[in-house]
């Protein structure tokens, strides 16, 4: 940028120089010509007048002794100083001044202009009328003094021109400096801001209006820049904080999910396991009763029974663990309570391009069971829903309703409280739908999900005495409907949970 | 000798309990579902009924209620699988065992045994419930 400013100065001066170069020479030549012509004209005019004077003088001479008197006149003309050649031609006879040097080159022609013939002498011929005939008077005048005058005048003109040029250049230099200096300062200040020192104020204190305005706008821009910078930094920090929060919540959610999965698996496995343990324990104990006391057989069986007892207590501990980690005693609760809690958690982690809506009636819609299980169901279903809409955004709608005698297979007649979770995601085709509740079935990449989410949901819904159904179409979205037997305030589990095929 | 009715949808369990009880000298009838159990009870009223709680079709709690209605004072021992969430895909009509056991107790089961139970516990429970 230094270069640009420099060239501004250079340009200004250059322009002035060009103008001067274009104007001054013709001006000088013009003025010189005028001066010269003025001098020449004056010279010629005066010479002409003088020759007329001499001619008149000669005409006034007496005819007698004309020659002698004529020479006298010629001599006086030469002596006056201007004349360097004087002659009277009378036919073939010539009379010269006795003083004038005949060596002066006297061409036969007359001069019409100053400087003619290049001989530094101006020749004039004048007719002199005598008594009976005319004679020619020829005078030669020295051009040199006039030439010297002309030269001096030209020098003066030259000097004036030079002074003019010098002054113009000086003014141009000063002007360019005056204009360029505030620009240099502004440019320096702008450079400072650009290199990071955004807090250096810009003020070049110039009196030129355009520069002042430029200064003002530049300063304004700088302030905006500083403000924008701070705003951005703040936003970045806030984003980082909320990103951290989101990651934390996701971790916690994943952890919960794993715990719940373990719990549900443990529950399912435990049941089967306990059934298997029953014959192991009972038959070992029977065999022990029939074994001879103190026999090796008896001792071996004692060990088997001890191991079976340990297995039993292990399963109990696992179940207790999963119960403690995850569930409470079954009770009657309004369906919306765990649903709202789950949605509150989800709102924190679901990206903003997914809209979450809950539609629930005024009535509590009570069900019997473990509220944290319903919480788990909502989390799992909503997680699947938002995964289906990740990237494209969409709507996740959770609806609660009471349905009398729902038109679903596997459901007895009666009042049910329904939880529906719908998404506007990519949907699933028939082949996927067929396997959707199977444990370890997943359409996700390895490491992205255990494939247990929906099987857990299915298990929980079953354990609550309900049924889960799914409707889906590729491209339009999916709806899961969880039907749970409605609980009256003080219903016993038996009436709430009886199911007949 | 006392007559004991055993109801469990798992055949294995029924046989195990029969072995233990017959060895202790009781007469045992084993059925696999509530309906058969009620029929057997009608034919020959048992002294004690040992029933699994979670069964398909009519579950144990219902059976207990019906038995107590028909035979007031009937002595019932309820046995359960012990898993708290119930099975998953293969027994879809089960709810929390917890709730079932509580319901069973409400319905009139005097003793609850959770599998796997000790032979001695089973015999002790039967002995306790019998009049002598």
Nearest residue of chain A to residue B81 (CA atoms): A271
Taking an 8 Å cut-off on Cβ atoms, the answer to whether A268 and B98 are in contact is: no
Return the sign of the alpha-carbon dihedral for residues A339, A343, A345, A346. positive
| Predicted confidence (pLDDT) at residue A475 exceeds the cutoff of 50 | yes
Determine whether the interchain pair A264/B88 forms a contact, defined as Cβ–Cβ distance below 8 Å: yes
The whole-number pLDDT of residue B81 equals 67
β A394-404/A415-423 pair status: antiparallel
Residue-by-residue DSSP string for B12-57: HHHHHHHHHHHHTT-EEEEESSHHHHHHHHHHS--SEEEEES--SS
| Interchain CB distance below 8 Å, B94 and A462 | yes
Distance in angstroms (rounded) separating the CA atoms of residues A11 and A35 = 35
B54 phi and psi angles, rounded to 5 deg = -95, 110
Q: Is B114 left (phi over 0), alpha (psi -120 to 50) or beta?
A: beta
- Tokens 């274009």 belong to A22
Whose CA is closest to B79, among B130, B121, B29, B128? B121
Q: How far apart are the C-alpha atoms of A198 and A192, rounded to whole Å? A: 7
DSSP state of A117: G
Which strands form A354-359's sheet, in the order they lie side by side?
Answer: A354-359, A394-404, A415-423, A477-485, A467-473
pLDDT at A494: 40
Whether B94 shows a pLDDT value over 50: the answer reads no
- Residue A326 above 60 pLDDT? no
Place of tokens 């009379």: A95
**Angle at which helices A453-463 and A209-290 cross, to 10°:** 60
Residue A385 near residue A377, CB atoms below 8 Å: no
Paired strand residues for A357: A397
- Range A409-422 average pLDDT: 87
Residue B69: HSE in the Cβ half-sphere, 13 Å Cα cutoff: 7
Looking at residue A447, what is its pLDDT? 52
d(CA A472, CA A482): 15
**A239-265: per-residue pLDDT in tens?**
999 999 888 888 888 877 777 677 667
Q: For residues A69 and B38, which has the higher predicted lDDT (pLDDT)?
A: B38
Q: What is the pLDDT of residue A398?
A: 95
Out of A259-273, B10-24, B86-100, least confident range: B86-100
For an interface test with A, the pick among B68, B69, B85, B121 (most A C-beta atoms closer than 10 Å) comes out as B85
Instruction: For residue A203, name the pLDDT band (cuts at 50, 70, 90).
Output: confident
Q: Quick check: B28 contacting A, CB < 8 Å?
A: no
User: CA of B125, closest CA in chain A: separation in Å?
Assistant: 15
Please tell me the distance in Å from B122's CA to the nearest CA on chain A.
10
Q: List Cβ neighbours of B6 (8 Å cut-off, separation of 6 or more).
A: B14, B17, B18, B21, B28, B29, B30, B31, B49, B50, B51
Q: How confident is the model at residue B88 (pLDDT cuts 50, 70, 90)?
A: very low
- B15-42 exposure pattern, b = at least 16 Cβ within 10 A, e = fewer: bbbbbbbeebebebbbbbbbeebbebbe
Tell me which chain A residues have a C-beta less than 8 angstroms from the C-beta of B98: 329-330
pLDDT digits (tens, 9 = 90+) for A370-408: 887 888 889 889 988 888 888 788 899 999 999 988 888
Non-local (6+) Cβ contacts of B65 within 8 A are A494, B107, B108
Name the residue of chain A whose CA is nearest to B52's CA: A275
Q: State the Cα–Cα distance between residues B26 and A42, nearest whole angstrom.
A: 171
Structure tokens that stand for A252 in this block = 């916690």
Do A268 and B88 lie within an 8 Å CB cutoff?
yes
Preceding peptide of A271 cis, ω within 30°: no
Q: Tokens 């029974």 sit at which residue?
A: A305
Is the pLDDT score of A54 beyond 50? yes
Other Cβ atoms within 10 Å of A83 Cβ, number: 25
Within 8 A of A459 by CB-CB distance, chain B residues are 85-86, 88-89
Contacts of B115 in chain A (CB under 8 A): 274-275, 277-278
Of all residues in chain B, the one with the smallest CA distance to A437 is B89
A429 HSE (CA, 13 A, CB side): 2
Whether the pLDDT of residue B91 is over 50: the answer is no
Nearest CA distance, B48 vs chain A (angstrom) = 20
Between A344 and B101, name the one with better pLDDT.
Answer: A344
Under DSSP, is residue A385 helix (H, G, I), strand (E, B) or coil?
helix
Interacting residues of A329 by C-beta distance below 8 A, sequence separation 6+: A370, B98
Per-residue model confidence (pLDDT) at position A331? 79
Q: Do the Cβ atoms of B96 and A370 come within 8 Å?
A: yes
Handedness of CA B109, B111, B117, B120 (dihedral sign): negative
Chain A residues in contact with B95 (beta carbon < 8 A): 369, 462-465, 493, 497
Gyration radius of chain B's alpha carbons: 14
Mean pLDDT score, B48-71: 87
Using a CB–CB cutoff of 8 Å, tell me whether B96 touches chain A.
Answer: yes
Partners of B103 on chain A (C-beta within 8 Å) are: 492-494, 497
Q: Is the dihedral of CA B36, B37, B38, B43 positive or negative?
A: positive
- The more confident residue out of A81 and B92 is A81
Nearest-CA neighbor of B92 among A92, A178, A455, A118? A455
Closest C-alpha to A34, from A144, A162, A153: A153
Q: Which of A264, A460, A462 has the most B C-beta neighbours within 10 Å, making it the best mutation to test the interface with B?
A: A462
Q: Which of A338-342, B27-31, B109-113 has the highest mean pLDDT?
A: B27-31
What would the pLDDT profile of A173-199 be if each residue is shown by its tens digit?
888 888 778 777 877 877 887 787 777
Q: What is the CA radius of gyration of chain A?
A: 63
Query: In chain B, what are the helix, strand and coil shares in percent, each to the nearest 5?
Result: 40, 20, 40
| Residue B109 contacts A, CB cutoff 8 Å | no
């Amino acid at each position: 940028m230094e270069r640009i400013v420099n060239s501004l100065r250079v340009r200004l001066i250059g322009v002035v120089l060009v103008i001067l170069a274009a104007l001054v020479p013709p001006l000088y030549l013009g003025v010189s010509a005028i001066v010269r012509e003025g001098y020449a004209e004056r010279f010629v005019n005066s010479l002409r007048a003088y020759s007329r004077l001499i001619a008149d003088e000669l005409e006034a001479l007496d005819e007698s002794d004309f020659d002698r008197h004529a020479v006298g006149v010629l001599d006086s003309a030469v002596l006056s100083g201007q004349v360097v050649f004087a002659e009277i031609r009378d036919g073939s006879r010539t009379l010269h001044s006795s003083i004038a040097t005949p060596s002066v080159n006297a061409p036969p022609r007359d001069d019409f202009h100053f400087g003619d013939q290049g001989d530094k002498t101006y020749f004039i011929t004048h007719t002199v009328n005598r008594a009976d005939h005319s004679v020619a008077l020829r005078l030669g005048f020295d051009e040199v003094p006039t030439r010297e005058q002309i030269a001096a005048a030209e020098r003066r003109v030259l000097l004036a021109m030079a002074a003019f040029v010098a002054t113009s250049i000086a003014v141009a230099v000063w002007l360019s400096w005056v204009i360029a200096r505030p620009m240099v300062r502004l440019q320096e200040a702008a450079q400072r801001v650009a290199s990071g020192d955004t807090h250096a104020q810009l003020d070049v204190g110039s009196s030129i209006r355009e520069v002042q305005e430029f200064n003002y706008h530049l300063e304004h821009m700088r302030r905006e820049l500083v403000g924008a910078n701070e705003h951005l930094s703040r936003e970045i920090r806030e984003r980082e904080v909320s990103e951290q929060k989101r990651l934390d919540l996701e971790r916690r959610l994943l952890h919960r999910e794993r715990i719940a999965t373990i719990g549900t698996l443990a529950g399912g496995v435990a049941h089967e396991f306990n059934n298997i343990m029953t014959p192991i324990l009972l038959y070992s104990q029977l065999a022990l009763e029939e074994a001879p006391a103190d026999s090796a057989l008896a001792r071996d069986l004692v060990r088997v029974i001890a191991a079976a007892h340990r297995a039993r207590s292990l399963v109990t501990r696992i179940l207790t663990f999963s119960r403690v980690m995850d569930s409470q005693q079954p009770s009657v609760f309004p369906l919306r309570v765990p649903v709202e809690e789950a949605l509150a958690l989800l709102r924190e982690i679901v990206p903003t391009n997914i809209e979450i809506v809950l539609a629930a009636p005024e009535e509590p819609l009570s069900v019997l069971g473990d509220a944290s299980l319903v919480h788990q169901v909502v989390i799992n279903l909503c997680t699947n829903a938002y995964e289906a809409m990740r990237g494209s955004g969409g709507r996740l709608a959770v609806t609660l309703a009471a349905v009398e005698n729902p038109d679903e297979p596997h459901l007895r007649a009666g009042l049910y409280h329904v939880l529906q979770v719908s998404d506007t995601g990519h949907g699933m085709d028939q082949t996927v739908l067929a396997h959707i509740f199977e444990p370890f079935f997943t359409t996700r990449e390895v490491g992205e999900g255990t494939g247990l989410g929906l099987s857990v949901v299915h298990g929980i819904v079953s354990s609550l005495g309900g049924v889960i159904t799914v409707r889906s179409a590729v491209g339009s979205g999916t709806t899961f409907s969880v039907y749970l037997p409605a609980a009256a305030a003080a219903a016993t589990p038996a009436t709430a949970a009886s199911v007949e095929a | 000798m006392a007559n004991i009715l055993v109801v469990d949808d798992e055949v294995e369990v029924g046989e195990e309990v029969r072995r233990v009880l017959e060895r202790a000298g009781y007469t045992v009838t084993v059925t696999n579902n509530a309906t058969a159990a009620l029929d057997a009870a009608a034919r020959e009223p048992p002294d004690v009924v040992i029933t699994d709680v979670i069964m398909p079709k009519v579950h144990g709690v219902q059976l207990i209620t019906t038995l107590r209605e028909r035979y007031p004072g009937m002595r019932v021992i309820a046995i359960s699988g012990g898993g708290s969430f119930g099975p998953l895909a293969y027994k879809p009509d089960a709810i929390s065992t917890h709730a079932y056991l509580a319901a069973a107790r409400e319905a009139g089961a005097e003793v609850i045994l959770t599998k796997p139970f000790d032979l001695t516990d089973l015999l002790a429970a039967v002995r306790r419930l019998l009049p002598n």
